[in-house]
Structure 1
């Protein structure tokens, strides 16, 4: 059964939009604090992977509050970034952050979802997703849509959480993820169900080997995964 934030009747897409609208004001505080800022290191590595393709047109899907889009624009000066998110609440925070850094001419923030991206066929050099693919309403459709937008020779770079393979480390990780994180996140955000859903969505997400198969089925080649921080996250790369 597909895990959803709030109930079983409405679509996952509708509930994810509502959830991120609800937690947007406190999302950055919780995101960086609960991850102990290690998410910044993972984004740094994702940007490095993107830079290897010397892109001029980047599409950042599920951009959230714009952290990855801002890093991409800052570290790849020749690139223009289109950043898309389903939540207007998250985009409102992203707009303030982009303006504060003077990047309004480099980053275009647009509302949209992963299954209907506001870009033409083969119009993007590199597409990115940071911790957002597990929130797609239809993961297979979202991956196919990403592939549609990327030109031949381009790539997709995806950061996503995964379950560590080491049994001892996995036990510690799951204790923190399922016991500690929901309590703190729920108290600060005032939406406990959101912070029950987010770790549950990690547990439901396909294992790295299966997700690489899904990328291949969507049309990507030379797919590979790079484990981050003992398998807490994976950096996935696929080419067109």
Structure 2
């Protein structure tokens, strides 16, 4: 099955979505954190905290952070969950290099490591991790079904996947306000701060095209996960999905 978000690409149809997303994030890696904080007004920190709290009962000791970006979720996960180890993976070497520096600055290089990996074909053995998590990156998957199946494969039996993703509010007036925010504010701020103007036109489009709510739950179940559930935060602008192997 092809999802609408898989058809949304940053640049052109001449190369794969994965290659374009890698190039895009390499381009904006240096400015990504300041752009992210500016555009979310810092609310993303509370979303991560709420999502991570859902993994506390599991007490995971080995965690895979997929589409880790600059490592924000990995660092916050260590502070919240105190696991033995966290591995942050991303297709963008530029992003994870920023993440390595941030983990080192926090004194966590022995607890948080980073590797360049494509979640369409992970290099890890079956049943390797107690938990997996993706914050604001699952909509960038080149093939959502394939990516979810790979995550399921590397999770241990009983392991959990926690996903945070930006979503479109369903009701007035937040729905209309969100449209203005994503279609006017985000691209404008992106053009001012980032050298890659296209990136911050792509990101809102990818949010609007991505499945959410019950459709995402059904996709998780279809790809082998169980006990899938979701919650929404900040009037529907962010959704948290939790599922088990």
Report the TM range for the smaller structure's normalisation: over 0.9
- Structure 1 residue 116, shift from structure 2 partner: 1.5
CA distance in 2, matches of 1:200, 1:186: 16
Q: Which residue matches 1:203? A: 208
1:25 to 16, 23, 30: 30
Q: 1:169 offset after TM fit, Å?
A: 0.7
Q: Which residue is 2:181 aligned to? A: 176
Task: Give SS of 1:93's match.
Answer: helix
Structure 1 segment 154-173 matched on structure 2, within 5 A: 154-173=159-178
Where does structure 1 differ by over 4 angstroms across 4 or more consecutive aligned residues?
none
> Deviation at 1:75?
2.1
1:78 and 1:26 mapped to 2: Cα distance?
A: 29
Matched, 1:131 2:144: no
State how far apart, in whole Å, the 2-side matches of 1:31 and 1:208 are. 24
**Structure 2 residue 103 is the aligned partner of structure 1 residue 104:** no
Does residue 140 of structure 2 align to residue 140 of structure 1?
no
TM-score (norm 1): 0.98
Output the aligned Cα RMSD: 0.9
Q: 1:15: which partner in 2?
A: 20
Aligned residue for 1:190, secondary structure, equals coil
Q: Secondary structure at the match of 1:192?
A: coil
Match of 1:86 among 87, 91, 101: 91
Unaligned runs of 5+ in 1: none
Structure-2 residue corresponding to 1:38: 43
Q: Corresponding residue for 2:124?
A: 119
Matched, 1:58 2:55: no
Could you state the TM-score of these two structures normalised by the residue count of structure 2?
Answer: 0.96
